[in-house]
Amino acid sequence: MHVRTTSEKELELGAKLGAIIQDPDARNSLIENPTEVLAGVGVKSDVTLFADTVDLVHLIVPAEVDVARVAAEDETYFEELGRAALGNCVYHDLPE
C-alpha cells in the first residue's frame, strides 16, 4: 500500500494558495503577476501558472507515475491521479 503524508509546510502553502484563489482580487493579482504573488507565499519563481476559466480547464500530467500501481490496476491510485491531473476542479455549470 502506498501512503503519502502531507507535511505541515505543504498544508500551510495549500491554505495560503486556497485563500488567494478564493478572493477575486487576489486571484486576479496571481494571474497578472504570478512570480510576485507566489514569492510572497514562499513558492519558487520557476513555477508556471495556468489559470482555468469557465471555457478552459488545464489537465496536469504528473511528473512521475507509479508503474507498479498502474499495472496492478489500483483504483485508489487512479483516483489520486485523476485528482492530481484536474487539481480537484469542480465545475457545477459546465461550458457547452
pLDDT digits (tens, 9 = 90+) for 44-94: 877 788 888 888 888 777 778 889 999 999 988 888 887 777 665 655 555
Please list the residues that pair with 53 across neighbouring strands.
Answer: 56
What are the residue ranges spanned by the domains of the chain?
1-47, 52-96
53 SS3 class: strand
pLDDT digits (tens, 9 = 90+) for 1-54: 555 666 888 888 888 988 998 899 999 999 899 989 999 998 887 778 888 888
- Cα separation, 70 vs 67, whole angstroms: 5
- Cα separation, 14 vs 82, whole angstroms: 18
Residue bearing cell 502506498: 2
- Cα separation, 45 vs 62, whole angstroms: 19
